[in-house]
Chain A
Amino acid sequence: MREEIQRIQRLMEREHYVTDRSIATAVYLALALEKPLLVEGHPGVGKTDIAKVLARATGADLIRLQCYEGLDATTALYEWNYPKQLLHIQLEQGSARPLAEREAAIFSEPFLLKRPLLQAITHEGRAPVLLIDEVDRSDEEFEAFLLEVLSDFQVTIPEIGTVRATRRPAVVLTSNRTRELSEALRRRCLYLWIDYPSLEKELHIVRAKVPGIDEALARSVTAFVQSLRRMALAKTPGVAETLDWAAALVALHAAELDAEVVRETMGCLVKDERDLRLVGAALDAGDLPAMLTPLP
């Protein structure tokens, strides 16, 4: 294995992010090839954390752009500070300065509100990590705009001119796949699909993230969640849910899992009314044996 990849894996593990080789390789290549990394996967498998941990591990600043429906270039890139401009115009009213000069004054950098994308481009010092979270929630128009920004990291502000990034930020995009992203955007990025972790990996994550958890409890919690994932639930619990649940059990001083404890705390894990009933029925029927017989 390439030493740099091992280093990335170590750095991320140090931040309590349990990686595997495919994640470490993708992150390494994204950094080395200076390409954005598109991470897709089910909710709660730790997509967003990749960017956060990467920023922490490398000591870079994290700039986050949360996408939502209706997000547009103004909110993502920059906006003029209108109230400030208005005030300035009022103050300047009596002044003898020529119009052009006055206009240049209010359309200069102090009047500019930098939104995440522009922040990432104009960031001083070390290249930041730019997290574009849940791209699938934005619409196609924004995606097209994003593509443009990501391809050369320069932005033209008509009143000021072209701003170019001195250092290319490391870009991580995440998507829950609620809609298919455009082919163009996919091709622009390196791609990483994160599946639900294996039992071993998830156990590893629980141990790393829930300090003070009893080994036996960690094992049965993980096994239980893994068996839930095999059920046809509307909202399959992710790793985030496993961790919430494990933390709740630790807080409740539960030493082991039994049907009653599970029922009381199931809200951490199953977040859909119909699913709750399904899991409840399975518990009654004893169909979830993973929790009753502790694993060796």
Chain B
Amino acid sequence: MRRKQKKALIRIIVAAVLMVVLGLVSHFTNIHEYVLFALYMVPYLVVGYDVLWKAVKGIGRGQVFDENFLMAFATIGAIVLQEYTEGVAVMLFYQIGELFQSIAVGKSRKNIADLMDIRPDYANIEEDGKLVQVDPDTLEPGSVIVVEPGERIPIDGVVIEGESSLNNSALTGESLPVDVGPDSPVNSGGINLSGVLKVRTTKAFGESTASKILELVENAGSRKAKAENFITKFAKYYTPAVVAAAVLLALAPPLARLAMSLDPLWTQWVYRALTFLVISCPCAIVVSVPLSFFGGIGGASNAGILIKGSNYMETLANIRTVVFDKTGTLTRGNFAVTGVHHSELEDEELLRLAAHAESHSPHPIAKSIMAAYGKELDPSLVSDVREISGHGVTATVDGHEVAAGNNRLMTSLGIPFHDCHSIGTIVHVAIDGEYAGHIVISDELKEHSKEAIARLKEAGIRKTVMLTGDNEAAAKQIAEYINVNEVHAGLLPADKVTIVERLLQKQDKREALAFVGDGMNDAPVLARADLGIAMGALGSDAAIEAADVVLMDDDPLKISKAVRIARKCMRIVKTNIWFAIGVKFACLILGALGIANMWIAIFADVGVMVLCVLNAIRCLFVKKL
């Protein structure tokens, strides 16, 4: 608690004790009216002097609708009506509300600051064989820094010496450590777990990942959601309207009664008008709505999901259609051996021979076969390599004549082969003139792609669409396997925009469409969709720039998580808005009818605010979604 808050708490306690004692004393004894008034002024002034002072200053500046003025007016009014306890109590609860709000907001600010505590304070550089801590802001790109175990990497760079594993969970939400060695790129914000690393920085501190993420999250609140704009507008009209209603309530009924030559009952109507003033502050909603968004955005970023503004949070919650660009989001985007079929030999032996035969080829297919074999190649085993362009390769490997290539190669060699029903590129292998099976190479589906689609459907996404430049057959098979509703294949980049536009036209106005891409070459589509989501953005500035929502790692499961976070946040925002407005209006009506007194009015003001703020804080907790 800050000093200001402590002081406020002490004032509240003192005033509360005095108020209760006075209440008891006046109940059991007969104190003269003036003495009682004087006694009640003590707790009133203790708890409310600053509000009164601010009200006076506010009047000087023409701020009549200021909360301080309204509170001062309502409480002084109550005291004039000789409702001393209520006058003091309203001021007291008002101050409790203010204190609570300031503590709650301060706490969640701190919570989020802790969650986002990824900005390193220093960098180590070597000077005369000793490590010196310097301000990372002063280092130029290309400097060499040393990161010891347990330290945070301060600046993006490339490892030049040392091996270690990194915990990037502050950036991606993924706690599995990542192994790094010489030439591995590293991002600021990650924690070095085991070995000492020497890193050559590639960026300035301010341009590094950690700084960028922080900047993004801090600025997210500036892009306001519709709900926030609604609240600002509402607050602007609400207070003056309630005050006007109060004036009307204080004057109209008594005057009407006078005209009918009844007793005007001035006290009663003025009292009812004063209860209006107590309910006139829109604080509950005004504080809880931005707090909810701030909490939701903070919680999401801790899970590796960056939402660039409250407005995007709102759109995210309304998504009913998700369009995927296949490569890089549902599939890994790198070619790999996904199967070895009809092999007469051990799969590994087939791969060994094929890998050696292909060892001189720079082709990506050859590379993926070598990667699948995974062991050191022995060049001395390979001779007589003959590359036949558009067909494949023949070579002598370890004493065997090996031919590896497509259907045409097999046909030209006169070797009968099994055609393959699998999707992808097929490399047939023949050994010593005999067919030995084939290797299937395709873009690997990500581990969680199927589950991700299922989760999205669970989360209420009605339509999932996959777009790809691949051929129809390959695309259909994947689409069926992961169970997307619609697939469009053989697309050029421009076609993707057209299809997204068509989908946008078809959908209901209240619904939204998200496009998920890797952010590298789909910027136009990301921009065209209601919401652009970029995946695998860690280390890619372009992706972070292009999208509205950024998933730091490339796990497609995060998409449904993001939707769930947004839904929860929006649900809380809406509940708060309707609850606060509902209770306030109910109390206004009851107050006008004389059923609700000032005690109920102060609940409508402070109680509702406390409840809304507590509810809003729930937005921070997104781990289990």
Q: Do A and B come from one complex?
A: no
